[in-house]
Amino acid sequence: MNYLITIIGPTAIGKTALSIALAQHFGCDIISCDSRQFFKEMKIGTAVPNEKELAGAPHHFIQNKSIFESYSVGDFEQEALAKLDELFEKNNVQIMVGGSGLYVDAVLKGFDEFPDIDASVRAEINAKFDILGIEYLQEQLQKLDSEYYQKLQTENPQTLQNPQRMKRFVEVCLGTGKPYSSFIGIRKNKRNFTPIIIGLEANREKMYERINQRVDIMLKEGLLEEAKNLYPNKQLNALQTVGYRELFDYFDEKTTLDFAIEQIKMNTRRFAKRQITWFKRTENVSWFDYLADRKEIINFINDIIKK
C-alpha cells in the first residue's frame, strides 16, 4: 500500500518545515504543489525553500519551469503522478506539500472530463463578452445552468467575476446543450496511493502576524530588486500574483512604495483566507495547530500506516 502524506494550509503557516521533518523521518521525497514556486525567475516573492531547507530532503517541482513556458494544472497532474510512480518504487511513503488547492486536488482526485467544444462557440462567446461584459456571462450561466450558478453564488462568488472561468462554463453549456454541472463527478480517477491529509492552522491574529513578518523578511532579502528585474515581463500570467503585482504598480508610479508594501500584506492575508476556505471544504483532513509537536503528527501518521 502506498501513502501520500499531503500537507495543506494557508501561506506562512509552516508547511515547508513540517514537510522536511516528515521527509527526514520517513526517508522520502517531497513533491511541491505550490504553483508559484514552479518558476525559477520567482524566488523571493514565492517563499521558495532556502538552500538549507532544500538540502534537508529531496524536492521536486520547485523552480523547474520558466515564466516564459506555458504550464497548466493538467500538465502538473501528469508530471506529478509520473514522478510519484517512480518514487513509490523506492519508498511506499511520499510527501506532497503546498498551498495551491487546485493543484492538490489535481494530484489527489484529478479533474472531470469535458467534451471538446467547437471553436466557433468560443469565438461567439468572446465577441459577446467584449461588447456586453461579465454580466452577459452571468446571465447565460444562470439561464443555462441555474443549479451551478446558485452553487457558485453561495460557495465561491468571486468565480462569477472571473471572465475566463465564466467563459468556460458558458462554452460547455452552449457547445453541448447540457448544463456544465452535468459533467462534474462522472469521471473516476484511480490513484495508486492512499492520501493522508494533514492541515496546519492558527488563529487569525497569529496567521496575519506571520504573514506580515514574512513580507518584511522578503523585502530584506531583495524582493524589490527581484520584482524590478521581472517588471519588463509584467504581462505574463505567472507574474499576475501577490507580491509582484503591487510592486509593478509602484514602478508604474501608480502608488508609493509604502502603500505597495501594505497592499502586499493585505492581499496576502486575503489570499490566506481564500486558501482556508478552499481547504476547509477538502474531505478527510486531519487538522493540527501549527505549533503541534512533530512527534504527535508522526505518531498519528504511523497509526494510519500500520492499520
State pTM to two decimals. Answer: 0.80
Spatial separation of the C-alpha atoms in residues 37 and 32, rounded to whole Å: 8
- Residues marked as binding for substrate? 11-16
**What are the DSSP calls for 154-166, one per residue?**
HH-GGGGG-HHHH
Of the pLDDT bands very low, low, confident and very high (cuts 50, 70, 90), residue 307 is confident
| Residues 6 or more apart in contact with residue 258 via CB below 8 angstroms | none
Superfamily of domain 3-111+189-306: P-loop containing nucleotide triphosphate hydrolases (3.40.50.300)
Per-residue pLDDT, 88:
98
Q: Decide if pLDDT at 187 tops 70.
A: no
Helix/strand/coil (H/E/C) assignment for every residue in 186-241: CCCCCCCCEEEEEEEECCHHHHHHHHHHHHHHHHHHCHHHHHHHHHHHCCCHHHCC
Terminal CA-CA length for the chain:
11
State pLDDT tens for residues 244-291.
999 999 999 999 999 999 999 999 999 999 999 999 999 999 999 999
Burial code (b: 16+ CB inside 10 Å, e: under 16) for 15-50 equals bbbbbbbbbebbebbbbbbbbbbbbebbbbbbbbbe
Percent of the chain with pLDDT over 90: 85
- Residue 154 above 90 pLDDT? no
**Count of alpha carbons within 13 angstroms of residue 14, beta-carbon side:** 18
Q: Across the strands, what pairs with 105?
A: none
- Examine the pLDDT at 188 and tell me if it is beyond 70: no
What pLDDT digit, counting tens, does each position of 56-85 carry? 999 999 999 999 998 888 899 999 999 999
Which residue ranges are tagged as binding site? Answer: 9-16
Domain ranges of the chain: 3-111+189-306, 119-183
The pLDDT tens digits for 96-138 are: 999 999 899 999 988 777 888 898 999 999 999 999 999 999 9
Which residues fall in the annotated binding site for ATP? 9-16
Grid cell 527581484 in the structure block, residue = 226
CB-based burial, 166-184: b 16+ in 10 Å, e otherwise: bbbbbbbbbbbeebbbeee
Which phi and psi (to 5°) does residue 199 adopt? -105, 140
The domain defined by 119-183 folds into: Histone, subunit A (1.10.20)
Q: What's 65's DSSP letter? A: B
Q: What is the pLDDT of residue 70?
A: 86
